[in-house]
Amino acid sequence: MNIPVIILGFGGHARVLIDVLRLQGIQILGISIPDEDLNHKYYDGIPIIGNDKDVLEYSKNDIRLINGLGSVKESEHRKKLYEQFSNMGYQFTNAIHPSAIISSNVHLSEAVQVMAGAVIQPGAVVGINTIINTRASIDHDCNIGSHVHIAPGVTISGGVIVNDNVHVGTGAVIIQGVSIGNNSVIGAGAVVINNVFDNTTVLGVPARVKGE
């Protein structure tokens, strides 16, 4: 059943999602935006329904939600937004661009977003509320945690573990078998050849811990 959706938040990431949802043939009822932006009536042709509180006027049985927040600066807000509505019983749908290549032997959790040209190979698992962005490549038997952002052009080799709340920056490369700890940030263009501990930022080629 094609249940209509409401997008939470607006901006560049939400605009990409609008395109993905249209290509999927999913009806978009509207977009919720912050109070300070409520002078807007439409965004990319989609009606503004109000703020997040106004979403609660819709029955959780009649709609699905899409998390429209995207960047690393909003990662904690993005997580809280998902948890807020999920705890109230609302469900989030997955947004999958038709050009993405996803093996039939892949497990995608709730609220996963896979953008144009992404590849996810057999045996991979992707956790809740995670973004696999444009042309990212996830190889076989990887475990990608929840509330993760795999940015455009990232390459992750086989058997990699990316734990929860991680941001992997644009064009980064992670070699096979490496584990990335919770709440870590992999800088854009970094090449990760060793395990990364929790709460760590790594930069460079090869990647080094920030400050070292």
Which residue in 107, 140, 147, 167 is the catalytic one? Answer: 140
Question: Which residue in 64, 26, 65, 28 sits closest to 43, CA to CA?
Answer: 28
What type of residue sits at position 149? H
Q: How far from 104 is each of 69, 80, 118, 124, 211, CA to CA, in Å?
A: 28, 30, 14, 10, 42
What size, in residues, is the chain? 212
Backbone angles phi, psi at 90, to 5 degrees: -75, 145
Backbone angles phi, psi at 52, to 5 degrees: -60, -30
Instruction: Give the three-state DSSP class for 13.
Output: helix
Q: Is 140 part of the annotated catalytic residue set?
A: yes
Question: Which residue in 193, 187, 194 sits closest to 167, CA to CA?
Answer: 187
Name the residue with tokens 């990212």: 136
Q: Give catalytic residues, as residue numbers.
A: 140
